Amino acid sequence: MKIPVNIPIIEKEEINEVHSVLVEKSLTTAANAGGKRVQEFENLLTSYVKSKYAIAINSGTAALQAALYALDIKSGDEVLLPSFTFVATANSVVSVGAKPVFVDVLPENYTMDPDDLEKKITRRSKAIIPVHLYGNFAYIQEISEIARKHGLEVIEDAAQSLGTTYKGKQSGSFSRMGCFSMYAAKVMTSGEGGAIVTDDRALFEKLRKIRNHGMLHGYDTRILGLNLRLPEISAAIAKIQMKKLPKFLEKRKKNAKILSELLSDLAIILPTERQNVQVNWYLYTIATKNRDKLMRQLNSKGIGATAYYAIPVHKTPFYRKKLKLPITDWAASSVLSLPVHPLVTEKNLHYISMIMHRFLK
Protein backbone atom coordinates (compact mmCIF):
# COMPACT_ATOMS: atom_id res chain seq x y z
CA MET A 1 0.00 0.00 0.00
CA LYS A 2 1.41 3.39 -1.06
CA ILE A 3 -0.09 6.54 0.46
CA PRO A 4 1.85 9.69 -0.60
CA VAL A 5 1.71 12.72 1.69
CA ASN A 6 0.27 14.77 -1.20
CA ILE A 7 -0.45 14.12 -4.88
CA PRO A 8 -1.94 16.23 -7.70
CA ILE A 9 -5.42 15.20 -8.82
CA ILE A 10 -5.46 15.55 -12.59
CA GLU A 11 -8.58 14.30 -14.33
CA LYS A 12 -10.25 14.37 -17.73
CA GLU A 13 -11.31 18.03 -17.46
CA GLU A 14 -7.74 19.26 -16.96
CA ILE A 15 -6.44 17.05 -19.77
CA ASN A 16 -9.11 18.31 -22.17
CA GLU A 17 -8.37 21.95 -21.32
CA VAL A 18 -4.62 21.44 -21.84
CA HIS A 19 -5.37 19.69 -25.14
CA SER A 20 -7.38 22.74 -26.24
CA VAL A 21 -4.39 25.00 -25.53
CA LEU A 22 -2.14 22.75 -27.61
CA VAL A 23 -4.63 22.65 -30.49
CA GLU A 24 -4.96 26.44 -30.41
CA LYS A 25 -1.15 26.79 -30.17
CA SER A 26 -1.74 29.63 -27.69
CA LEU A 27 1.02 28.56 -25.32
CA THR A 28 1.83 31.98 -23.84
CA THR A 29 1.67 35.70 -24.51
CA ALA A 30 3.66 38.78 -23.57
CA ALA A 31 0.50 40.88 -23.48
CA ASN A 32 0.19 42.97 -20.32
CA ALA A 33 -3.10 41.32 -19.33
CA GLY A 34 -1.82 37.79 -19.95
CA GLY A 35 -3.38 35.03 -22.01
CA LYS A 36 -7.02 34.00 -22.19
CA ARG A 37 -6.75 31.23 -19.60
CA VAL A 38 -4.50 33.28 -17.35
CA GLN A 39 -7.24 35.90 -17.22
CA GLU A 40 -9.92 33.26 -16.64
CA PHE A 41 -7.94 31.82 -13.75
CA GLU A 42 -7.32 35.27 -12.26
CA ASN A 43 -11.04 36.02 -12.37
CA LEU A 44 -11.84 32.75 -10.61
CA LEU A 45 -9.22 33.48 -7.94
CA THR A 46 -10.45 37.01 -7.22
CA SER A 47 -13.97 35.65 -6.89
CA TYR A 48 -12.81 32.96 -4.46
CA VAL A 49 -10.51 35.15 -2.35
CA LYS A 50 -12.83 38.19 -2.59
CA SER A 51 -9.96 40.43 -3.70
CA LYS A 52 -10.22 43.15 -6.32
CA TYR A 53 -7.25 41.92 -8.34
CA ALA A 54 -5.16 38.81 -8.94
CA ILE A 55 -1.93 38.46 -10.88
CA ALA A 56 -0.95 34.97 -12.05
CA ILE A 57 2.78 34.26 -11.71
CA ASN A 58 4.91 31.26 -12.68
CA SER A 59 5.68 30.13 -9.11
CA GLY A 60 4.93 30.92 -5.50
CA THR A 61 8.55 32.00 -5.05
CA ALA A 62 8.26 34.41 -7.97
CA ALA A 63 5.04 35.77 -6.44
CA LEU A 64 6.94 36.71 -3.27
CA GLN A 65 9.80 38.12 -5.31
CA ALA A 66 7.44 40.26 -7.43
CA ALA A 67 5.67 41.52 -4.29
CA LEU A 68 9.01 42.63 -2.83
CA TYR A 69 9.92 44.39 -6.10
CA ALA A 70 6.54 46.11 -6.07
CA LEU A 71 7.29 47.57 -2.63
CA ASP A 72 10.80 48.65 -3.73
CA ILE A 73 12.50 46.45 -1.15
CA LYS A 74 16.21 46.55 -1.92
CA SER A 75 19.78 46.28 -0.64
CA GLY A 76 20.15 47.55 2.92
CA ASP A 77 16.53 46.76 3.81
CA GLU A 78 15.57 44.09 6.33
CA VAL A 79 12.57 41.80 5.96
CA LEU A 80 11.29 39.86 8.97
CA LEU A 81 10.10 36.28 8.40
CA PRO A 82 10.02 32.93 10.20
CA SER A 83 12.90 30.50 9.83
CA PHE A 84 10.43 27.64 10.13
CA THR A 85 9.19 27.71 6.54
CA PHE A 86 10.18 26.53 3.10
CA VAL A 87 13.39 28.27 2.01
CA ALA A 88 11.57 30.11 -0.81
CA THR A 89 10.36 32.74 1.65
CA ALA A 90 13.93 33.69 2.54
CA ASN A 91 15.30 33.22 -0.99
CA SER A 92 12.84 35.74 -2.37
CA VAL A 93 14.15 38.33 0.11
CA VAL A 94 17.80 37.67 -0.75
CA SER A 95 16.98 37.76 -4.48
CA VAL A 96 16.04 41.46 -4.27
CA GLY A 97 19.17 42.28 -2.27
CA ALA A 98 17.51 42.57 1.14
CA LYS A 99 18.43 40.85 4.39
CA PRO A 100 16.15 38.21 5.95
CA VAL A 101 15.73 38.54 9.73
CA PHE A 102 14.50 35.31 11.26
CA VAL A 103 11.69 35.28 13.81
CA ASP A 104 10.63 32.43 16.07
CA VAL A 105 7.24 30.71 15.79
CA LEU A 106 4.46 29.79 18.20
CA PRO A 107 4.04 26.16 19.31
CA GLU A 108 0.25 26.32 18.83
CA ASN A 109 0.33 26.45 15.04
CA TYR A 110 3.97 26.94 13.91
CA THR A 111 3.39 30.50 12.63
CA MET A 112 5.25 33.72 13.42
CA ASP A 113 5.48 34.77 17.08
CA PRO A 114 4.33 38.42 17.24
CA ASP A 115 6.29 39.07 20.47
CA ASP A 116 9.57 37.85 18.98
CA LEU A 117 8.77 39.78 15.80
CA GLU A 118 8.56 43.10 17.61
CA LYS A 119 11.84 42.50 19.44
CA LYS A 120 13.69 42.12 16.12
CA ILE A 121 12.50 45.27 14.36
CA THR A 122 15.27 47.79 13.63
CA ARG A 123 15.55 51.07 11.76
CA ARG A 124 16.40 49.05 8.65
CA SER A 125 13.22 46.96 8.81
CA LYS A 126 10.95 47.54 5.84
CA ALA A 127 8.57 44.58 5.61
CA ILE A 128 7.19 41.51 7.38
CA ILE A 129 6.37 38.21 5.68
CA PRO A 130 4.20 36.05 7.96
CA VAL A 131 3.75 32.49 6.67
CA HIS A 132 0.43 30.67 6.97
CA LEU A 133 2.31 27.40 7.45
CA TYR A 134 0.69 24.00 6.76
CA GLY A 135 -2.56 25.84 6.00
CA ASN A 136 -2.67 27.26 9.55
CA PHE A 137 -3.49 30.94 9.94
CA ALA A 138 -0.76 33.26 11.24
CA TYR A 139 -1.70 35.74 13.98
CA ILE A 140 -2.23 38.35 11.32
CA GLN A 141 -4.16 40.89 13.41
CA GLU A 142 -1.35 41.16 15.96
CA ILE A 143 1.29 41.21 13.21
CA SER A 144 -0.58 43.89 11.26
CA GLU A 145 -0.85 46.07 14.38
CA ILE A 146 2.91 45.79 14.95
CA ALA A 147 3.48 46.64 11.29
CA ARG A 148 1.29 49.77 11.55
CA LYS A 149 3.04 50.84 14.75
CA HIS A 150 6.47 50.67 13.08
CA GLY A 151 5.46 51.76 9.58
CA LEU A 152 6.22 48.41 7.95
CA GLU A 153 4.67 46.65 4.96
CA VAL A 154 3.14 43.17 5.27
CA ILE A 155 3.25 40.54 2.53
CA GLU A 156 1.39 37.35 3.41
CA ASP A 157 3.09 34.14 2.36
CA ALA A 158 -0.14 32.22 1.77
CA ALA A 159 1.55 29.63 -0.45
CA GLN A 160 0.15 26.76 1.63
CA SER A 161 -3.14 28.29 2.71
CA LEU A 162 -5.53 28.74 -0.20
CA GLY A 163 -8.90 27.94 1.35
CA THR A 164 -7.84 28.88 4.89
CA THR A 165 -10.00 31.59 6.47
CA TYR A 166 -10.13 33.74 9.60
CA LYS A 167 -13.61 35.01 10.51
CA GLY A 168 -14.68 33.96 7.03
CA LYS A 169 -11.99 36.00 5.29
CA GLN A 170 -9.41 34.25 3.09
CA SER A 171 -5.72 34.22 3.99
CA GLY A 172 -3.72 36.51 1.75
CA SER A 173 -6.41 39.19 1.87
CA PHE A 174 -5.43 40.75 5.23
CA SER A 175 -2.54 42.82 3.85
CA ARG A 176 -1.66 44.81 0.73
CA MET A 177 -0.52 41.61 -1.00
CA GLY A 178 -0.98 37.89 -0.46
CA CYS A 179 1.08 35.30 -2.35
CA PHE A 180 -0.14 31.80 -3.24
CA SER A 181 1.55 28.74 -4.71
CA MET A 182 0.11 26.24 -7.16
CA TYR A 183 2.97 23.76 -6.98
CA ALA A 184 2.04 20.16 -7.75
CA ALA A 185 1.61 19.15 -4.10
CA LYS A 186 -0.60 22.07 -3.03
CA VAL A 187 -4.37 21.90 -2.40
CA MET A 188 -4.82 22.84 -6.06
CA THR A 189 -2.19 22.93 -8.76
CA SER A 190 -1.08 24.27 -12.10
CA GLY A 191 2.05 22.09 -12.08
CA GLU A 192 4.24 25.07 -11.27
CA GLY A 193 2.61 28.41 -10.63
CA GLY A 194 1.65 31.12 -8.20
CA ALA A 195 -0.50 34.19 -7.80
CA ILE A 196 -0.64 37.51 -5.96
CA VAL A 197 -3.89 39.04 -4.74
CA THR A 198 -4.36 42.71 -3.84
CA ASP A 199 -6.99 45.40 -3.53
CA ASP A 200 -4.51 48.13 -4.50
CA ARG A 201 -4.95 49.25 -8.12
CA ALA A 202 -1.49 50.84 -8.33
CA LEU A 203 0.19 47.68 -7.04
CA PHE A 204 -1.86 45.57 -9.45
CA GLU A 205 -0.70 47.60 -12.45
CA LYS A 206 2.88 47.56 -11.22
CA LEU A 207 2.84 43.80 -10.65
CA ARG A 208 1.56 43.18 -14.17
CA LYS A 209 4.59 45.03 -15.49
CA ILE A 210 6.98 43.28 -13.10
CA ARG A 211 5.89 39.82 -14.31
CA ASN A 212 6.56 40.89 -17.91
CA HIS A 213 10.03 42.52 -17.96
CA GLY A 214 8.61 45.85 -16.79
CA MET A 215 6.77 46.30 -20.08
CA LEU A 216 3.35 47.82 -20.65
CA HIS A 217 3.07 48.02 -24.45
CA GLY A 218 5.58 45.98 -26.43
CA TYR A 219 9.26 46.63 -25.77
CA ASP A 220 8.73 49.71 -23.62
CA THR A 221 10.34 48.55 -20.35
CA ARG A 222 9.37 51.12 -17.69
CA ILE A 223 10.48 49.44 -14.45
CA LEU A 224 12.64 46.48 -13.50
CA GLY A 225 10.82 43.26 -14.23
CA LEU A 226 11.48 39.64 -15.15
CA ASN A 227 9.77 36.89 -17.09
CA LEU A 228 7.41 35.71 -14.34
CA ARG A 229 4.51 34.91 -16.66
CA LEU A 230 2.29 31.87 -16.10
CA PRO A 231 2.09 29.79 -19.32
CA GLU A 232 -1.34 29.05 -20.76
CA ILE A 233 -0.97 25.29 -20.20
CA SER A 234 -0.44 25.89 -16.49
CA ALA A 235 -3.30 28.39 -16.38
CA ALA A 236 -5.56 25.85 -18.11
CA ILE A 237 -4.92 23.36 -15.30
CA ALA A 238 -5.33 26.04 -12.62
CA LYS A 239 -8.62 27.21 -14.11
CA ILE A 240 -10.17 23.74 -13.78
CA GLN A 241 -8.60 23.11 -10.39
CA MET A 242 -10.10 26.33 -8.98
CA LYS A 243 -13.56 25.00 -9.79
CA LYS A 244 -12.79 21.77 -7.94
CA LEU A 245 -11.14 23.43 -4.93
CA PRO A 246 -14.21 23.44 -2.61
CA LYS A 247 -14.65 19.70 -3.19
CA PHE A 248 -10.94 19.07 -2.55
CA LEU A 249 -11.05 21.04 0.70
CA GLU A 250 -14.17 19.31 1.96
CA LYS A 251 -12.50 15.90 1.56
CA ARG A 252 -9.35 17.11 3.33
CA LYS A 253 -11.46 18.41 6.21
CA LYS A 254 -13.31 15.12 6.49
CA ASN A 255 -10.08 13.11 6.43
CA ALA A 256 -8.46 15.36 9.04
CA LYS A 257 -11.45 14.94 11.35
CA ILE A 258 -11.35 11.14 11.03
CA LEU A 259 -7.60 11.00 11.61
CA SER A 260 -7.83 13.23 14.69
CA GLU A 261 -10.46 10.91 16.16
CA LEU A 262 -8.37 7.83 15.41
CA LEU A 263 -5.21 9.29 16.96
CA SER A 264 -6.80 11.08 19.92
CA ASP A 265 -5.66 8.49 22.48
CA LEU A 266 -1.97 8.71 21.54
CA ALA A 267 0.61 10.80 23.42
CA ILE A 268 1.21 13.17 20.50
CA ILE A 269 0.29 16.77 19.75
CA LEU A 270 -2.53 16.84 17.21
CA PRO A 271 -3.24 19.81 14.93
CA THR A 272 -6.21 21.95 15.93
CA GLU A 273 -8.13 24.92 14.55
CA ARG A 274 -8.10 27.97 16.78
CA GLN A 275 -11.29 29.98 17.26
CA ASN A 276 -12.65 31.64 14.09
CA VAL A 277 -10.10 29.84 11.88
CA GLN A 278 -10.91 27.26 9.25
CA VAL A 279 -7.74 25.61 7.93
CA ASN A 280 -7.45 23.97 4.53
CA TRP A 281 -5.62 20.89 5.92
CA TYR A 282 -2.88 21.17 3.33
CA LEU A 283 -0.57 19.35 5.74
CA TYR A 284 -1.99 17.46 8.70
CA THR A 285 0.93 17.96 11.09
CA ILE A 286 1.43 16.27 14.43
CA ALA A 287 4.32 16.68 16.88
CA THR A 288 6.05 13.90 18.81
CA LYS A 289 9.42 13.35 20.47
CA ASN A 290 9.65 10.04 18.59
CA ARG A 291 9.36 11.77 15.21
CA ASP A 292 12.28 10.28 13.29
CA LYS A 293 11.65 6.68 14.39
CA LEU A 294 7.93 7.02 13.76
CA MET A 295 8.55 8.52 10.31
CA ARG A 296 10.85 5.65 9.35
CA GLN A 297 8.27 3.14 10.54
CA LEU A 298 5.45 4.77 8.58
CA ASN A 299 7.61 5.13 5.46
CA SER A 300 8.57 1.45 5.64
CA LYS A 301 4.86 0.62 5.48
CA GLY A 302 4.28 2.78 2.38
CA ILE A 303 2.91 5.83 4.22
CA GLY A 304 4.39 9.08 2.95
CA ALA A 305 4.81 10.75 6.35
CA THR A 306 7.17 13.70 5.91
CA ALA A 307 8.96 16.15 8.21
CA TYR A 308 8.40 19.73 6.98
CA TYR A 309 10.86 21.29 7.88
CA ALA A 310 13.50 19.21 9.65
CA ILE A 311 16.15 21.82 8.86
CA PRO A 312 14.88 25.36 9.50
CA VAL A 313 16.14 27.98 7.09
CA HIS A 314 18.63 29.56 9.51
CA LYS A 315 20.42 26.21 9.85
CA THR A 316 20.79 25.46 6.13
CA PRO A 317 24.36 25.76 4.79
CA PHE A 318 23.61 28.93 2.80
CA TYR A 319 21.92 30.83 5.64
CA ARG A 320 23.72 29.28 8.58
CA LYS A 321 23.36 31.62 11.56
CA LYS A 322 23.68 31.08 15.31
CA LEU A 323 20.30 32.23 16.51
CA LYS A 324 18.13 31.50 19.55
CA LEU A 325 14.86 30.28 18.06
CA PRO A 326 13.81 27.66 20.62
CA ILE A 327 10.33 26.88 19.32
CA THR A 328 11.65 26.70 15.76
CA ASP A 329 14.29 24.19 16.89
CA TRP A 330 11.70 22.16 18.82
CA ALA A 331 9.30 22.11 15.87
CA ALA A 332 12.04 21.13 13.41
CA SER A 333 12.84 18.04 15.48
CA SER A 334 9.23 17.14 16.34
CA VAL A 335 6.74 17.76 13.51
CA LEU A 336 5.48 15.10 11.15
CA SER A 337 2.93 15.57 8.36
CA LEU A 338 0.51 12.74 7.53
CA PRO A 339 -1.55 12.18 4.34
CA VAL A 340 -5.10 13.58 4.34
CA HIS A 341 -5.37 14.63 0.67
CA PRO A 342 -8.58 13.88 -1.28
CA LEU A 343 -7.37 10.52 -2.62
CA VAL A 344 -6.79 9.19 0.90
CA THR A 345 -9.59 6.76 1.79
CA GLU A 346 -11.04 5.98 5.20
CA LYS A 347 -9.38 2.57 4.92
CA ASN A 348 -6.03 4.34 4.41
CA LEU A 349 -6.63 6.45 7.52
CA HIS A 350 -7.36 3.38 9.63
CA TYR A 351 -4.18 1.79 8.27
CA ILE A 352 -2.12 4.87 9.24
CA SER A 353 -3.70 4.82 12.70
CA MET A 354 -2.98 1.12 13.15
CA ILE A 355 0.71 1.53 12.32
CA MET A 356 1.02 4.53 14.65
CA HIS A 357 -0.74 2.74 17.52
CA ARG A 358 1.49 -0.30 17.15
CA PHE A 359 4.61 1.86 17.25
CA LEU A 360 3.67 4.41 19.90
CA LYS A 361 1.93 2.03 22.31
Residue ranges covered by each domain of the chain: 12-240, 245-360
Which pLDDT tens digits describe the chain residue by residue (361 residues)? 799 999 999 999 999 999 999 999 999 999 999 999 999 999 999 999 999 999 999 999 999 999 999 999 999 999 999 999 999 999 999 999 999 999 999 999 999 999 999 999 999 999 999 999 999 999 999 999 999 999 999 999 999 999 999 999 999 999 999 999 999 999 999 999 999 999 999 999 999 999 999 999 989 999 999 999 999 999 999 999 999 999 999 999 999 999 999 999 999 999 999 999 999 999 999 999 999 999 999 999 999 999 999 999 999 999 998 999 999 999 999 999 999 999 999 999 999 999 999 999 8
Range 245-360 classified under CATH 3.90.1150.10 = yes
| CA angle (287 as vertex; 265, 263 as ends), nearest 5 | 25
Express each pLDDT in 103-153 by its tens digit.
999 999 999 999 999 999 999 999 999 999 999 999 999 999 999 999 999
Q: What is the pLDDT of residue 361?
A: 81
Q: What is the pLDDT of residue 103?
A: 98
Q: What is the pLDDT of residue 249?
A: 98
Phi, psi of 137 (to 5 degrees): -105, 120
Radius of gyration (Cα) for the chain, nearest Å?
A: 20
Cα 114 to Cα 166: distance, rounded to the nearest angstrom:
17
Spell out the SS3 assignment of 134-185.
Answer: HHCCCCHHHHHHHHHHHCCEEEEECCCCCCCEECCEECCCCCCEEEEECECC
Q: What is the pLDDT of residue 53?
A: 98
- Coil, strand or helix at 195: strand
Cα 96 to Cα 88: distance, rounded to the nearest angstrom:
13
Q: What is the pLDDT of residue 1?
A: 75
How far is it between the farthest Cα atoms of the chain? 67
Range 12-240 classified under CATH 3.40.640.10 = yes
Q: Provide the 10 A C-beta neighbour count for residue 321.
A: 12
Q: What is the pLDDT of residue 20?
A: 97
The pTM assigned to this predicted structure is 0.97
Q: What is the pLDDT of residue 345?
A: 98
